[in-house]
Structures are given as C-alpha cells and as structure tokens.
Structure 1
Amino acid sequence: MFHIISYILFLSISSYITIDVGRRCYNAGKYYLEYIIHDTNLCLTINRILLGCYYLINLGYIAISLTIWDKVNSMEQVLAVTAVRIGYIALILCVLHYINIFALYFLKKNLTIK
C-alpha cells in the first residue's frame, strides 16, 4: 500500500516539476537564444530541440527511478524516498540548465571572435 502511495506522489510531483520547468525554460530561453544567435527561426528551432531533449531526459530518469525503487513500509519512508527522488530530479535539472547556458555562452563567444 505504501509503495503505491509513494509511486503516485512521486509521479505527480515529478510530472508537475518537469512540465512547469520545461515550459518556463522554453519561454525564457527564447530571449536568451535571440540575444546570442540573432536569428529568430534558428532560435525557435534550437529552443524546441532543447525542450524535446529535456522532456526525454526527464521521462527516462522517471522511468528508471521507478524500476529501482526502495522498499517502502511506512509513511515516513514514503516521504523520505520520494524526497530523495525529487531531489535528484531537481539536481539533474539544475546541472543541465547551467550546462546549456554555458555552452550557448561559449558558442556566442566563439562566433563573435571569428
């Protein structure tokens, strides 16, 4: 019973985080990409590709996370296991976000030098 509760809690929270963060990064990323690249069509294409990759990475992590779930026997363990899994998702998103920002920054730097 606790196992199912932890699955439902994890899936609902991780789905909300994935969709909300993806939407926010997509909307804010348009302006950042236009600042760097100065081509509206290319910016839109890159932004869509980044959003698609973002969703695929998150769905993959969520699926893998469900297969290696710890045994849950109490409500305390439900909260602990779910919090750890959600924390991993938040860390992964943070790292990916900063990698994208730095990669695009260095891409702009290299494009303006040449």
Structure 2
Amino acid sequence: MDFAVVSYATYLPIATGVTVWVARTLGRNGRIFLADVFAGDDRLADAVNQLLVVGFYLINLGFVALWMRNDQSITDLQGVFDALSYKLGTVLLLLGVMHLGNVYVLNRIRRRGSLDKQHRPPVAPQAFLYPGQA
C-alpha cells in the first residue's frame, strides 16, 4: 500500500470540503454584513459578496492544490496522520486568516462610510427660536 496516495486521497476531499463549507457560510452570512457596509445597497452587496466568495475559492483551493505535494516519503500509517495534521492545520489557519482579513477590510470600509455620514453639513432649520420664545 502506498501511504502517500492514502494521504492525498484523504487530504484532498477534507481540505476541499472544509473550504467549500467555509465559503458557503461566509457567502450566506456575509451578505447581511455587506448590506450594512454598503448602506443598504442590496445589489452592490450581492455583487461584492459574490466576488469575495469567488476570490475565496480561487485562493484557498489553489493553496489546497499546491499544498497537496509532499516532499517527505510516507512509510507508515503514523506518517499519514502526521502529514494530514500538518497540511489540514495549515489550510485551516489560512482559512481563518483569510476570513479575518476580509472582516477587517470590510469593517474599515463600513467605518469610513459612517464617518462620511457624520461630516455632512447640518440641515438648515425651518425656523429660528430666540431666548424666551417657545
């Protein structure tokens, strides 16, 4: 039995499945956050959400594919588990970093939008009230 093939056959479906699950979860739940970031512009929120999900898939599945290669020979079952834990742990860390990076950038955009709203000139009053007048 070639243990490297066992390692690949186990790693690829798990890493791909976790990536797909995270991307779908972020896409489904991130839409609400994006609608708030873009001040209720649902079309823009949907478009940006879709672009973020596609980018997430491309980066993470590309990394999963590149990370599949193993430079060390795997000679036993323990080697399979060692390789899998290292590779899957790295993929999970990358997914977490990507998620935190997206949230950070979107939060900065959201803050910038709320600051722009605060710096708008005030609305002119319809009438002036003088002291003693009520």
Q: What TM-score, normalized to structure 2? A: 0.81
Q: What is the SS of the residue equivalent to 1:102?
A: helix
Q: Post-superposition shift, 1:77?
A: 0.7
- What residue number does 2:131 align with? none
- What residue number does 2:78 align with? 76
Task: Indicate if the aligned counterparts of 2:35 and 2:42 stay in contact, CA closer than 8 A.
Answer: yes
Task: Indicate if the aligned counterparts of 1:29 and 1:47 stay in contact, CA closer than 8 A.
Answer: yes
Q: What is the SS of the residue equivalent to 2:16?
A: helix
Q: Post-superposition shift, 1:69?
A: 4.2
Residue 32 of structure 2 is aligned to residue 31 of structure 1: yes
Q: What is the SS of the residue equivalent to 1:73?
A: coil
- Any gaps of 5 or more consecutive residues in structure 2? 117-134
More helix by share: 1
Q: What TM-score, normalized to structure 1? A: 0.94
Alpha-carbon distance between aligned partners in 1 of 2:19 and 2:71, rounded to the nearest angstrom: 19
Residue 92 of structure 2 is aligned to residue 90 of structure 1: yes
Task: Indicate if the aligned counterparts of 1:70 and 1:81 stay in contact, CA closer than 8 A.
Answer: no
Alignment deviations for residues 51-102 of structure 1 (CA, whole Å, 9 cap, x no partner): 1011101121112112344321110010110111110111011111111111
Alpha-carbon distance between aligned partners in 2 of 1:70 and 1:90, rounded to the nearest angstrom: 21
Q: CA 1:7/1:17 → structure 2, altered by over 3 Å: closer, same or farther?
A: same
Percent identical among aligned pairs is: 25
Alpha-carbon distance between aligned partners in 1 of 2:73 and 2:43, rounded to the nearest angstrom: 49
Number of equivalences: 114
1:1-114 aligned within 5 A: 1-37=2-38, 38-114=40-116
Q: Give the greater-gyration-radius structure (CA).
A: 2
- Any gaps of 5 or more consecutive residues in structure 1? none
Alpha-carbon distance between aligned partners in 2 of 1:4 and 1:42, rounded to the nearest angstrom: 44
Alpha-carbon distance between aligned partners in 2 of 1:56 and 1:108, rounded to the nearest angstrom: 25
